[in-house]
Amino acid sequence: MTDTPQLGFDTLQVHAGARPDPATGARQVPICQTTAYVFRDAEHAAALFNLQEVGYIYSRLTNPTVAALQERIATLEGGVGGVCCSSGHAAQIMALFPLMQPGRNIVASSRLYGGTVTQFSQTIKRFGWSAKFVDFDDHDAVAAAIDDDTRAVFCEAIANPGGHITDLDAISAISDAAGIPLIVDNTSATPYLCRPIEHGATLVVHSTTKYLTGNGTVTGGCIVDSGKFDWAANDKFPSLSQPEPAYHGLVFADTFGPMAFTFHGIAIGLRDLGMTMNPQAAHYTLMGIETLSLRMDRHVQNAMTIAQWLKDDPRIDDVTYAGLPTSPYAHLVPKICPKGAGGLFTIAVKGGYDACVKLVDSLEIFSHVANLGDTRSLVIHSASTTHRQLSPEQQKAAGAGPNIVRLSIGIEDAKDLIADLDQALAKAVG
């Protein structure tokens, strides 16, 4: 259903990738809980292993339930294909894997999820890669950070934890001028609120654990390929533009055209890295996406109501929600996220670190967890948890200072959430 753009988002989130099972007529996508698939004959097996025919070999590579999810997410994002994997962190490594070599770097936003900052500043060094962190509000600084060894630009559409919105059109113009791909993490926005490919993104990554699944049950990740980048335009991406020894000299860019990255992600990335999504997780996420637009509308509605209330509360120094007219990112909402600024933002609490900890401990409806994007409202003090490994300077740059609490607003009754925040702030601040 990737070639049916005339259908609306609400229809596609239910039907894309889902077809009645030809063997049983099952209407819901079946959970294909199997490791391997029987080949028709030796010739069929050889064609699959040579990438001459598309099909199922082994569930580390491909699985019908996971394939349905890949098609659904790619359709909603407006991409040509997708590769699902075991987590959002896996998706980030999978996205970089075909692009990078030892000595190469990425230019990344300083406003990223704390685990991503750690992955990019520490872990990828073991591969010989590096990252330059830049304030993506400073477009000149982004352009200046790109050098001959840069192989990607990376940012979040709606940044975690602060809910800041990235001007994707401006950033994609910079990456295009440098001839390198723009990778956008669209986890916090989802394709319902933001479509990064329409703003110039080459690849879109998701932690499907969050809003796409929406029920806090399974982890997962996905990379969506726009199909619009010419990997053979220069010699920067040999994994895609030069002969692949493991497939008898096959050149992915020549053989698969716009689908080159997607096929490489499965045939090389999943084959060798093994960051596979299990079919049970794919099934839960498929069911979650069926109600994505309904949930996101409620997340946005509640977030706006609660952010406005908090903004006027004397116990709060600042609210970062981009949907507020006073936000420095308010002007980007109609362009980047026309259906709303999401359900994620931070608050600066009077009383600093100690007051933040007391607030988190005093909340009753909000759940204190290291997650976001659930139907339930969630809270966390980033400086002592998700961003704990970062330096004070990195915490501040990421919008996760010691006086900051992150709120992920759920779909409960907004009045109940406000009452919960009110009683907890009374205990924390007075």
pLDDT above 60 (res 5): no
The tokens for 217 are 């049950």
For position 228, what pLDDT does the model report? Answer: 97
pLDDT at residue 376, rounded to an integer: 97
pLDDT tens digits along 245-281: 999 999 999 999 999 999 999 999 999 999 999 999 9
- Under DSSP, the state recorded for 267 is I
Percent of the chain with pLDDT over 70: 99
Give me the mean pLDDT over the 152-161 stretch. 96
Domain ranges, ordered by start, for the chain: 9-99+181-288, 292-428
To which residue do tokens 């498929």 refer? 286
Compute the distance between CA of residue 302 and CA of residue 322 in angstroms, rounded to an integer: 14
Dist. CA 68–CA 202, nearest whole Å: 22
Radius of gyration of the chain (CA): 22
Q: What is the pLDDT of residues 180-198, one digit of tens each?
A: 999 999 999 999 999 999 9
Residue 103 main-chain phi, psi, to 5 deg: 95, -10
Backbone φ and ψ of 104, nearest 5°: -90, 160
pLDDT surpasses 60 at 2: no
Q: Is the pLDDT of residue 339 over 50?
A: yes
Mean pLDDT over residues 32-55, rounded? Answer: 95
At 333, which helix (H) or strand (E)?
helix 333-336
Integer Cα distance of 174 and 148 in angstroms: 14
Residue 389 pLDDT: 73
Residue 154: half-sphere exposure toward Cβ, Cα within 13 Å: 29
- Counting beta carbons within 10 angstroms of the beta carbon of residue 90, is it exposed (0 to 12), middle (13 to 18) or buried (19 or more)? buried
Is residue 31 scored above 80 in pLDDT?
yes
Query: How large is the average pLDDT for residues 40-56?
Result: 94
Mean pLDDT of 405-422: 98
For the chain, the average pLDDT equals 95
Strand pairing class (367-368; 378-380): parallel
Written as six digits, the tokens of 372 are 């976001």
Residue type, 403: N
Retrieve residue 245's tokens. Answer: 């020894």
Residue 384: pLDDT band by 50, 70, 90 thresholds? confident
The class of domain 292-428 in CATH terms is alpha beta
Cα(138)–Cα(228) distance, integer angstroms: 26
Percentage of the chain with pLDDT > 90? Answer: 90
Same fold, 9-99+181-288 and 292-428: no
340-381 confidence digits (pLDDT tens): 999 999 999 999 999 999 999 999 999 999 999 999 999 999
End-to-end CA distance of the chain: 55
- Whether residue 107 is predicted with pLDDT greater than 70 in this model: the reply is yes
Helices within 50-128 (DSSP H only): 64-77, 88-96, 114-121
The Cα-based distances of 147 to 106, 134, 179, 237 in angstroms read 9, 14, 11, 15
The region of weakest confidence among 172-176, 190-194, 199-203, 393-397 is 393-397
Q: Strands 130-134 and 182-185, how do they pair?
A: unpaired
Output the CA–CA distances (angstroms, integers) from residue 130 to 31, 145, 151, 227, in the order listed: 39, 12, 10, 26
Per-residue pLDDT, averaged over 146-158, amounts to: 98
Condensed to tens digits (0 to 9), the pLDDT of residues 275-306 reads: 999 999 999 999 999 999 999 999 999 999 99
* Cα(258)–Cα(119) distance, integer angstroms: 29
Q: Give yes or no for a contact between 322 and 194, defined as CB atoms under 8 angstroms apart.
A: no
CATH (residue range 9-99+181-288):
3.40.640.10
> Greatest CA separation found in the chain?
75
| Phi and psi torsions of 74, nearest 5° | -60, -40
18 close to 65: Cβ distance less than 8 angstroms: no
